[in-house]
């Protein structure tokens, strides 16, 4: 396996907090101590093998040392205000991250896309790009970037858009992938979230290759109904999302029966450039209290991926057609069982797929069992699966946010905050028309 490096970029409060949970889990899987030193005793012997060290450089940079090699994450964290990143600077993992990869400004974007893109965010852009360039200079075979951000926040929307534009122009041969926290249908911490989301998506359509949407409401539903968490917090949500990200990136970090790279994932999931917003489904969601009673078969795990309750975004898969699916299996998995399960799914759900894509499935198998954070909500299991599906059902989410945008913009509510930071009103119209056109693209492909 040719070693390929990936640089991860965490933007804004949501991106940094998800990143903290992700790196905690990555450290556990790769046996990296909080100070960056390797220590195999940190995780169970059955959960680590030789490949975990050999492929560690996909996510970590190994420093040269006369005594012991240290692992430093290939990542950059950026926020326009310091409080969230200051928790990392003073927390358990303060020695893990390089100081120059933790970038903060003095004032936040105030949930304003325009502040994140045109004024406050623009002042941070050069520093962020310099840090990213230093990180990429240490890569011998850069595969691409993974960005974590919120679509509804000011920094996550505005700053990520201008940063993605520069990355797209400067690293045009690399894949730019993102995990974006998408507005929930009934749960919103920001009033102007529809504005920020539409502007974010308008930029993502042009500058990013593939965007995975995650939804806090879907995560809360999973935690309450499946994992028996009575009062979920953002910490529970971030730990859950980290588990999904870990399983999705396992094939990038470990040897397996069938592996998939960032570019290969993009090739198989995105049939048309604009339709690059797959949804994520994970199985199994088993609480710790039931870990002794449940052990899902490959067939049951595969079928669970087509249940709305296992999706990480709220939408109804029966209201659309599947364009493509990427099944990422992990753990004690046999290829023959996978083939049988997918064959059954194709026969049972034949009408769920578009007719012009007869194959429809891309498969990855990684033999390393999933690892769970100690004290987390998920039970340790021997196998799991993440399904990345490009489905036209996602159009309902875009319709919902476009309608909220339209209602607010008809009365010009809150528009003056954006105009005062350098935006023009014409940009509101252009962004809304682009998202409406995206919805029509999904309808056209579906029909």
Architecture in CATH of 397-446: Orthogonal Bundle (1.10)
pLDDT score recorded for residue 118: 94
pLDDT score recorded for residue 267: 92
- pLDDT tens for each residue of 302-327: 999 999 999 999 988 888 999 999 99
Domain ranges of the chain: 5-278, 280-393, 397-446
pLDDT score recorded for residue 8: 97
pLDDT score recorded for residue 373: 84
- The residues of the chain scoring below 50 in pLDDT are 1, 41-53, 66
264 annotated active-site: yes
- pLDDT tens for each residue of 30-46: 989 999 998 754 444 33
pLDDT score recorded for residue 189: 82
pLDDT score recorded for residue 293: 60
pLDDT score recorded for residue 53: 47
pLDDT score recorded for residue 294: 63
pLDDT score recorded for residue 65: 56
Domain 280-393, CATH among 3.30.70.2860, 3.30.70.1070, 3.30.70.20, 3.30.1330.20:
3.30.1330.20
pLDDT score recorded for residue 42: 42
pLDDT score recorded for residue 51: 45
Q: Which of 224, 264, 427, 436 is catalytic?
A: 264
Per-residue three-class SS string for the chain: CCCCEEEEEEEHHHHHHHHHHHHHHHHHHHCECCCCEECHHHCCHHHCCHHHHHCHHHCEEEECCCCCCEEEECEEEEECCCHHHHHHHCCCCCCCCCHHHEEECCCCCCCCHHHHHCCHHHHHHHHHHHHHHHHHHCCCCEEEEEEEEECCCHHHHHHHHHHHHHHHHHCCCCEEEEEEEECCCCCCCCCCHHHHHHHHHHHHHHHCCEEEEEEHHHHHHHHHHCCCCCCCCHHHHHHHHHHHHHHHHHHHHCCCCECCCHHHHHHHHCCCCCCCCCEEEEECCCEHHHCCCCCCCHHHHHHHCCCHHHECCCCCHHHCCEEEEEEEEEECCCHHHHHHHHHHHHHHCHHHECCCCCCCEEEEEECCCCCCCCCCCECCCCEEEEEEEEEHHHHHHHHHHHHHHHHHHHCCCCHHHHHCCCCCHHHHHHHHHHHHHHHHHHHHHHC
Domain 5-278, CATH among 2.40.40.20, 3.40.50.1440, 2.130.10.10, 3.10.180.10:
3.40.50.1440
pLDDT score recorded for residue 52: 45
pLDDT score recorded for residue 62: 87
């Amino acid at each position: 396996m040719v070693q390929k490096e990936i640089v991860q970029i965490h933007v804004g409060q949501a991106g940094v907090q998800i990143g903290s949970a992700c790196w905690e889990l990555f450290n556990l899987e790769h046996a990296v101590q909080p100070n960056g030193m390797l220590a195999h005793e940190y995780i169970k012997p059955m959960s680590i093998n030789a490949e975990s060290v050999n492929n560690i450089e996909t996510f970590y940079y190994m420093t040269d040392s006369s005594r012991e090699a240290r692992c430093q994450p290939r990542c950059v964290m950026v926020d326009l205000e310091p409080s969230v990143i200051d928790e990392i600077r003073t927390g358990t993992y303060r020695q893990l991250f390089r100081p120059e990869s933790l970038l903060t400004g003095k004032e936040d974007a105030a949930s304003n896309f325009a502040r994140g893109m045109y004024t406050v965010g623009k002042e941070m852009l050069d520093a962020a790009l310099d840090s990213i360039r230093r990180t990429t200079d240490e890569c011998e075979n850069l595969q691409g970037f993974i960005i974590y951000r919120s679509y509804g926040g000011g920094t996550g929307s505005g700053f990520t858009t201008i940063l993605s534009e520069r990355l797209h122009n400067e690293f045009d041969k690399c894949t730019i992938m993102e995990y974006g926290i998408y507005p929930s249908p009934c749960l919103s911490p920001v009033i102007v979230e529809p504005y920020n989301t539409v502007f974010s998506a308008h930029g993502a359509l042009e500058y990013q290759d593939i965007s995975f949407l995650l939804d806090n409401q879907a995560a809360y539903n999973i935690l309450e109904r499946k994992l028996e968490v009575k009062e979920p917090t953002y910490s529970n949500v971030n730990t859950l999302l980290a588990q999904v990200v870990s399983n999705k990136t396992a094939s990038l970090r470990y040897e397996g029966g069938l592996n998939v790279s960032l570019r290969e994932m993009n090739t198989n999931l995105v049939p048309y450039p604009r339709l690059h917003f797959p949804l994520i489904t994970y199985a199994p969601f088993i609480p710790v209290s039931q870990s002794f009673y449940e052990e899902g078969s490959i067939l049951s795990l595969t079928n669970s991926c087509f249940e709305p309750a296992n999706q990480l975004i709220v939408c109804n898969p029966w209201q659309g057609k599947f364009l493509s699916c990427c099944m990422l299996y992990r753990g004690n998995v046999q290829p023959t069982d996978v083939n049988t399960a997918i064959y059954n799914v194709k026969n049972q759900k034949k009408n769920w797929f578009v007719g012009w894509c007869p194959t429809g499935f891309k498969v990855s198998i990684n033999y390393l069992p999933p690892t769970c954070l100690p004290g987390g909500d998920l039970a340790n299991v021997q196998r799991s699966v993440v399904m990345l599906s490009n489905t036209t059902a996602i159009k309902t989410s875009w319709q919902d946010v476009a309608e909220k945008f339209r209602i607010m913009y008809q009365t010009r509510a809150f528009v003056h905050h954006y105009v005062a930071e350098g935006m023009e009103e014409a940009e509101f119209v252009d962004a809304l028309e682009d998202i409406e056109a995206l919805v029509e693209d999904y309808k056209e492909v579906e029909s």
